[in-house]
Amino acid sequence: MPAESIYLLAADAIIVAHVLFVAFVVLGVLAIYAGYLLSWTWVRNYWFRLFHLVGIVFVVLESWVGIICPLTTWEMHLREKAGGETYSGSFIQHWLQSILYYEAPEWVFVIVYTLFGALVLASWFIVPPRRHE
């Protein structure tokens, strides 16, 4: 298998991991609040909640500092090594623009990430996690 194909395959694997991470963060908060309303005990699992909180805190801090996600940087590096197309900006910004034709300045994403992070943080008080179920 040519090196270019391996680089593209690795870049695609990173995209899959990135999408799964975004799904975990977005769907996770929806599950937490739905679980609260529907009395799902698993949404109070301490480790699930800790990984979820750490995930969104990482995203919020990245946006405040103004750095691109390491997964995006790694993916673009691999695509460049393979001679493939790259994109600029953040992963979410690129795909929202590609899928929804939604374009916004970077500060809009910083605000959205921060508000979403606040929603996740609030879930720790509204639906507090428990160490033992």
Which range, of 36-50, 66-80, 86-100, 109-123, averages the lowest pLDDT? 86-100
Q: Is pLDDT larger for residue 7 or for residue 43? A: 43
Give the length of the chain: 133
DSSP single-letter state for residue 42: G
Query: pLDDT of 28-59, one tens digit each?
Result: 999 999 999 999 999 999 999 999 999 999 99
pTM, two decimal places:
0.81
The Cα-based distances of 58 to 51, 53, 76, 115, 132 in angstroms read 11, 9, 20, 14, 26
**Greater pLDDT, 105 or 100:** 105
How far from 47 is each of 27, 29, 51, CA to CA, in Å?
Answer: 16, 14, 6
pLDDT of residue 68: 86
- What pLDDT is recorded for position 99? 61
